[in-house]
Each structure stands twice: as C-alpha cells, then as structure tokens.
Amino acid sequence: MITRILATVITETNIARRNQWVLIAVLLMVLFSLVLSAAGSAPTGALGADRLSVIVASLTSLSVYLVPLVALLMSFDAVAGEVERGTLPLLLTYPVARWEVLAGKLLAHTAILVIAIVAGYGAAAVIAIAADPASVSGLGALWRLTWSSVLLGATFLGIGYALSSLARRSSGAAGLAIGLWLALVVLYDLGLLAAVVADNGGTFTTRVFPSALLANPADAFRLFNLTASQSASVAAGIGSAAASIPLWQSLCSILLWPIASLGVAALAFRSVEP
C-alpha cells in the first residue's frame, strides 16, 4: 500500500515540477509575504504590537485569498486531466485502489504547499526579526498561522479533487474552481456584510452570523488565527469581532473541513468511469 501511494506521490511531484507549480507557488508566497512585510510593519509603534505580530495579521489576510487559490489551481485537473489524457483507465488497471491514488495526489500537492508556505512565511519572519529582535515573541503566532494554512490548503485541495471528478474535463473543472474560489473567498463575505447591515443588529447578526462564519473554511481560518493571537487581533483592527466567537469553535471548523472535503472528493472520484 505505502509503495503504491509513494509511486503516485513521485508521479504527481514530477508532473508539478514540469508544470512549474513548485516554482510558481514558492514565488507567489515569497513575493507577497515580502511585500506585506514591508507594508505591514509601519504601524507597529502605534498599535503596541511587535513587528512580526503585525506581519502575521497581514499574512492571515493574504493566506485567506492566496492559499485556496494555489490549492485549487494545482488540483482542478487532478482527475479531469487524467481522463482527458486517457491515463486514468490505464492507471486503474494496476492493482491500486482509488483512495490510494487520491492519497498520493494529496501528499504530493500538500508537500508543494508546505514548501511554498514555509518559504514565504520564513522570509517574512527573517526580515522581521532582523529589523526588530523583539519580534521573536511573535513566532508562536507565525507557527500557528503556518499549520493552519496547510489545513486550509488541504481543504481546498479536496474541493478541487471533487470538482475535477465531477467535471471530468479540465476546462469545466477550471471554471468551477475559479467560480467556487470567488464564491467562498470573496462573495461570501460581501453577502454576509450586506446581510448584517440590513439586519441592523437583529437575529441574523447575533445568532446566524457567527455560524455562517464558521461554515466557511476561509472565514474559520481567519477567525482562528486572529482569536488565538491577541497581538494579531489588535494589529488587524478587529479584535472584538474575532473574540465574539470562541476559539475552540473556529479550531474545530478548520480541523473538520479538510476531512469533509477529502471525503467528498473520495466519493466523487469513485463515481468516475475509467
């Protein structure tokens, strides 16, 4: 079993390297992290937070948009591409279970995400600590952001595999992936904001709104990181909003979402005809 999964991991890693996904993911994370490190460290004195905590708050906002996008771009053709190239029927003739194929793809893509995330956040941390040695106090928040970003990426990898299995064409899967990214990461929050404004402090704001935030993996990720780090909450300017939802609830959400999305992906992959 392990040998079959590792074979898939090696194959997917080679494909990602040929498609320049490793380089693209690392460059994106490093570039944006460095830009935010330069732009987000200016107000540290006024906020009373160390330089790295301010940068972590900025990186949290970056990760909400960038990590899901990179994950979906890597996974949208994981199944549809195999179907179009005609390699899926050949692959399934070997003594390998479908869940082993999916596990190999997940491990390979997650490894790429880990490399990109560590490179980006690490570069930001090095700059922050070099400029202000007191920033080492923010390493705990940065570590929390790192592993929760990996979980966020795994969630959207699973979603990408499910969309790829349902679409069975790379073009259709790409459209679904971008549409879902826009819906969950951009339009979802705008819709909630409009509903809160219209509700004017009513039942939706007090009861439905917190649950709606936890139901979105991107929002749960942001809430967890801002609630867990008081300095990051202050730096982000939304400390009271983050504190309104208990930490354990957002933690449960970001832990359960990868399992749920990968379960849906496995079910969708089982329905794909070779």
Range of the domain at 211: 2-270
- Rounded CA separation 264/163 (Å): 10
- Rounded CA separation 108/101 (Å): 11
Q: Give me the chain's average pLDDT, please.
A: 84
Question: What are the residues whose beta carbons fall under 8 Å from the beta carbon of 215, sequence distance 6 or more?
Answer: 253
If one counts the domains in the chain, the total is 1
pLDDT digits (tens, 9 = 90+) for 226-270: 876 654 444 444 444 555 678 888 899 999 999 999 999 999 998
In this prediction the pTM is 0.89
Question: What phi-psi label fits residue 63: left (phi over 0), alpha (psi between -120 and 50 degrees) or beta?
Answer: alpha
pLDDT digits (tens, 9 = 90+) for 27-78: 888 888 888 777 655 555 544 566 787 888 888 888 999 999 999 999 998 8
